[in-house]
Amino acid sequence: MSERVLLVSGGGRGRSSMSTLGSPGEWVWYAASKAAVDALTLGLARELARDGVRVNGVAPGLVDTMLHESSGVPGRLEKMAPTIPIGRAASAEEIAETILFLLSDAASYMTGSVLRVAGGR
């Protein structure tokens, strides 16, 4: 069995899929930091593969967490839902299921991947 490293390009804002969206006019700096995590994932995966270490990442989109309630923006999740093709935020459990998959033997041939779990956004 190989060792596993998982990088979750998360963040309190549920905007980790931004690394490929760029977030023009809004949070370009934040999107750039997420792209750096994606590059780190691929670079580490390539460096460590021969040592039996798999490195993968998860890039969640909007996730229904308490953070949104405390953001100071009433109804934030409901306001953002129309921007997501699937029409809703993810549950934390849905993100956790993706992480469990990557940590399982079912993903034994995966390294250097960043799974975007963002409802189509």
pTM value?
0.77
Residue from 6, 21, 30, 121 carrying the catalytic annotation: 30
Written as tens digits, the pLDDT of the chain (121 aa) is: 566 665 555 544 444 555 666 666 666 777 788 888 889 999 999 999 999 999 999 988 889 888 777 777 788 888 888 999 999 999 999 999 999 999 999 999 999 999 999 999 8
The residues spanned by each domain of the chain are 3-117
Tokens of 29: 């700096």
Query: Would residue 30 show up in a list of annotated catalytic residues for this protein?
Result: yes
CATH of 3-117, one of 3.40.50.720, 3.40.50.170, 3.40.718.10, 1.10.4030.10: 3.40.50.720
Provide the pLDDT for residue 5. 62
Question: Looking up tokens 């549950």, which residue turns up?
Answer: 91
